[in-house]
Amino acid sequence: MAQISLNVNGKNYRVDAEPDCPLLYVLRDNIGLNNPRFGCGLGQCGACTVLVNGSAMRSCTLPVERAASKKIVTLEGLGTPEHPHPVQAAFLEEQAFQCGYCLNGWILSAAALLERHPHPSEQQIQAAFEGLICRCGSHAQISAAVKRAAERRA
């Protein structure tokens, strides 16, 4: 065990964890967050996605020691119900979800994409979503939500 310092959603935490423990488990079990979610455990579905220094990363395969002293943002920390992030607002307006289990991956990947490319092409959107899985088939609404969020940034 080691004491590891994390900055999650703007708050500082010191947690006792094995350095190679997946960040996902620390966020859920040590810090008590409901998101990200456990999906495949192999970094292949995206349900566990978080932003680490602005980049979308799979927390189920990221050792907590590699996230130490970096800025981590989860879906809970992206926006608030009163002031949602533009991507969150666009997802609501486009009804770009059904069950919502996969939303971490889609919303956080979209937020990271729009930070890098404020007006992404369709190819850039598809590349940002590579490896994300939505079993409900909301892909068209998700793409429309990203485009709507990009329009708001203009």
CATH code reported for the domain at 2-78: 3.10.20.30
Query: Residue 154: what pLDDT?
Result: 60
The neighbouring-strand residues paired with 17 are 2
Query: Residue 137: what pLDDT?
Result: 80
Of 31, 14, 109, nearest to 3 (Cα)? 14
Range among 70-74, 77-81, 93-97, 103-107 with highest mean pLDDT value: 70-74
If pLDDT is split at 50, 70 and 90, which confidence band does 98 have? confident
87 has pLDDT over 90: yes
Q: In sequence order, which ranges of the chain are alpha helices (DSSP H)?
A: 23-25, 64-67, 75-78, 86-94, 103-116, 122-128, 139-152
Domain ranges of the chain: 2-78, 86-152
Mean predicted lDDT score pLDDT of the chain: 93
- The arithmetic mean of pLDDT across residues 72-91, rounded, is 95
Query: 63 in helix, strand or coil?
Result: strand
Structure tokens at 138: 């909301």
Gap between the Cα atoms of 85 and 75, Å rounded: 10
What CATH fold (topology level) applies to the domain 86-152?
Answer: DNA polymerase; domain 1 (1.10.150)
Q: Considering the entire predicted model, what is its pTM?
A: 0.93
Q: Tens of pLDDT along 18-49?
A: 999 999 999 999 999 998 999 989 988 999 99
The neighbouring-strand residues paired with 56 are 51
